[in-house]
Structure 1
């Protein structure tokens, strides 16, 4: 199978951090694969390269389908969904970080399946294993034959080598060997299994639909199938669902949780709930903190859509400056809209975003965005605003400067390509060519997510490594390749 072709508007070209994937599983409902397809559609923002579904039916056994592209273009076809019968199914949407980044092969698309002495099992993994290279070398030396370039396949091989008698016990064995971030949804012939790593870096929630149960990366995917949200799977917890029974295990040594704070800033959908808090409300509160920390005289607060909108609303409300949609997103630009000529590549941002000229002409505009990574898109948006007649452009960013790469399931450029890793805030302002540039502080971000006292550097409540360089799990493979960690604070 050929790799997924690059398109001029492929998300990989955006100046944004990208989540690796989303996972979803259902047990105890007729045509479970159809529920999974709906759930994956709601999680499409977490992975747009490819998707897969595995189902189990007592008559036909395990069945799987893996496809490149969007869920809506593949898993809405009746002819395909009829090949995935059963009351138990799991699914995965993928955006590559580990493995062949930007060169996805069909063999890299999850869920992965393994046949064991006690029966088959499929797993879908959200996150990234920081010791995957080390494990892979060890497993290959012992005779394992890998089919993909994904770090997630290590889990299947570790399970195969376990001496435990049941698949959940083998999974416990395997996951005790891995390091990094993982939220796993897995299935056997009779069980749906969910596991989070001891730090709980990546999200996973448990819901109920009819007489069955659901596991999902986010609560918004429960809503689309009419499922009731029950609770979050706890950091370091394994839930094993059989029929109407949910069993909970704690197979790992307890650790202080470090949930990814960027889920609040950007990754999760604004209509999801994280830790009992509305993601939308948290993002609006980040805008409030920004207005308090970085006021400026202006005429209009304008979001960079869509991710900057809640923070812009909060900034406008707190500052008293009118809110306006000065930039409009084209909602109908598909992946195959036009051939990737050089001229069209240069027009990419303008095809995705258009300036509302009548609103911004002559005004001092505050642009609110969720982050600045390389700065390339920010410069183009600034030029569009000025070309449309704005008097001034001020950037307000709803996250601290992104100065460090993530190794826990987020696609991040090398550190030297991160603008904040090589420039001060003043230098970034000059580089972007804006009248002013301010980021919310790390303490301000912590206050926005509900930690009133801000960040405790000795015991941070979240994983904020992309801002602080404080990695809660040492990125073993990357350090072996020469990555330099931040010097410990004195």
Structure 2
């Protein structure tokens, strides 16, 4: 039997850790509002907390708090932030508690001045590094691994001529996933780990350089996409422009690019490492139609990431694509379910079925993943209660069988339903008339030959997983 924890502790939906956005106006213009709008477009990557740090007259000031971007940054709060260099962050915790102290950017004062850091990813050796640093006198104010990075960069900066060189010297110590923004009073530095786990891209508008987790954030501020930050690359932006340090590029034996950016995390209007997220999801649906065909009357997607794959399935199969669900966009990740008897209502509050669209029809329902099966089973039942005669479930990813240690909250193996039941058994438990997953050996067709990490499906990690639990306070 699968070992299930209380449903309020194990989340069915997966979450990314965070999104980062930075900008530098080389002519000295105010850009805090750019960060505000950039974070708005990255809100899907984290809804727990957010923050902005700016360099004003070579002094770093910041504001951060728990909540969504529009909740934290009222006009009064935003008006206090002025400067020509700024970085911002939206957070969802996969390591480190969900408290205000762990909100980013993290601003540090040290012997050389100030640093602000915004980080997307997880370090697999964060626990060991923290213990080693504490034994040598380091005092930590948060429980996030980003503070470990900040401490290492500050330590190296004491013994080298520049912040960018300090970042370079710190990188060998930190193992795992990091797309990183570091702001000093005079510079904006971006770094991506040698495996390229998390996305990071560069844009430009007039005299302002922009670095962001996704290209959709560049579009929001009217910046032209220049290119992606390469795995292992360090980007330095100062008043003279942009420079690149590629000394750590091409060192990783395997790519760590997260395939789930294309399946679920990223916005469909983003392009990551040269591959359109929207096209990837369309292709996933086409593959599902080829490998798991079934006679039906209507193809529908579970909002939002299932919609594009459903379109692909419909295009390939010739079965009409339609809308079966209305999504309540005002129900956040932290929706409170006060009583056990009310927890099953959470799906109905987030989604409602268009009864006239599905009544008397055979439905193909496309979703992006199944973690425990609870949510998917509830949605199948909602469709049948609305009058669907058959519900055939198709999943635009392979079965989850292994945890992720690089910034995605895929739970431990004993909490993943695919490790305890066959596909047929999972389908029966969900009440589906049939169930089909994306074939692992065809997943590469989604991303046009791009190398990627698929460890959550086959256990082949590009980097050795930690020997100690780095996710002890993760919320599953």
1:118–1:166: 8 Å Cα contact kept in structure 2? no
Match runs of 1:83-482 below 5 Å? 83-100=80-97, 104-162=98-156, 163-252=159-248, 254-255=251-252, 256-333=254-331, 340-342=338-340, 344-451=342-449, 461-478=451-468
2:87–2:183: 8 Å Cα contact kept in structure 1? yes
What are the Cα deviations for residues 2-52 of structure 1, in whole angstroms up to 9, with x where unaligned?
A: xxxxxxx99x87522100000000101622211111101100000000001
**How far apart are 1:370 and its partner, in Å?**
0.7
SS, match of residue 377 in structure 2? helix
In structure 2, the residue matched to 1:38 is 37
Hey, what's the Cα distance between the residues in 1 that align with 2:334 and 2:402? 33
Comparing 337-346 with 388-397, greater Cα deviation is found at: 337-346
In structure 2, the residue matched to 1:81 is 78
In structure 2, the residue matched to 1:25 is 22
In structure 1, the residue matched to 2:3 is none
**How far apart are 1:258 and its partner, in Å?**
2.7
Hey, what's the Cα distance between the residues in 1 that align with 2:84 and 2:410? 37
What are the Cα deviations for residues 462-489 of structure 1, in whole angstroms up to 9, with x where unaligned?
A: 111111111111122447999xxxxxxx
Hey, what's the Cα distance between the residues in 2 that align with 1:349 and 1:51? 26
1:185–1:195: 8 Å Cα contact kept in structure 2? yes
**How far apart are 1:334 and its partner, in Å?**
6.1
- What stretches of structure 2 of length at least 5 have no aligned partner? 1-6
- Count of aligned pairs between the two proteins: 460
1:49–1:68: 8 Å Cα contact kept in structure 2? yes
Change (3 A) 1:480 1:380: closer
Change (3 A) 1:114 1:331: closer
**How far apart are 1:204 and its partner, in Å?**
0.3
Comparing 406-415 with 335-344, greater Cα deviation is found at: 335-344
What are the Cα deviations for residues 252-310 of structure 1, in whole angstroms up to 9, with x where unaligned?
A: 26224331111110010000011222211110111001100110111111111111000
What are the Cα deviations for residues 287-336 of structure 1, in whole angstroms up to 9, with x where unaligned?
A: 00110011011111111111100000010111111111112212344689
Hey, what's the Cα distance between the residues in 1 that align with 2:332 and 2:194? 39
Change (3 A) 1:230 1:249: same
SS, match of residue 343 in structure 2? helix
Change (3 A) 1:325 1:479: same
Hey, what's the Cα distance between the residues in 2 that align with 1:444 and 1:384? 31
In structure 2, the residue matched to 1:72 is 70
Change (3 A) 1:479 1:55: closer
2:199–2:273: 8 Å Cα contact kept in structure 1? no
Relative to the length of structure 1, the TM-score reads 0.90
**How far apart are 1:159 and its partner, in Å?**
2.0
Relative to the length of structure 2, the TM-score reads 0.92
- What stretches of structure 1 of length at least 5 have no aligned partner? 1-8, 452-459, 483-490
Hey, what's the Cα distance between the residues in 2 that align with 1:226 and 1:251? 31
Comparing 40-49 with 255-264, greater Cα deviation is found at: 255-264
Comparing 404-413 with 251-260, greater Cα deviation is found at: 251-260
Comparing 324-333 with 399-408, greater Cα deviation is found at: 324-333
What are the Cα deviations for residues 89-109 of structure 1, in whole angstroms up to 9, with x where unaligned?
A: 001100001112xxx121111
What are the Cα deviations for residues 61-110 of structure 1, in whole angstroms up to 9, with x where unaligned?
A: 111111100001122x221112211111001100001112xxx1211111
Change (3 A) 1:140 1:332: closer
2:30–2:84: 8 Å Cα contact kept in structure 1? yes
Aligned CA-pair RMSD:
2.1
What are the Cα deviations for residues 354-391 of structure 1, in whole angstroms up to 9, with x where unaligned?
A: 11111211111110001111111001001111111111
SS, match of residue 305 in structure 2? coil
Hey, what's the Cα distance between the residues in 2 that align with 1:344 and 1:376? 14
In structure 2, the residue matched to 1:487 is none
2:216–2:267: 8 Å Cα contact kept in structure 1? yes
1:185–1:192: 8 Å Cα contact kept in structure 2? yes
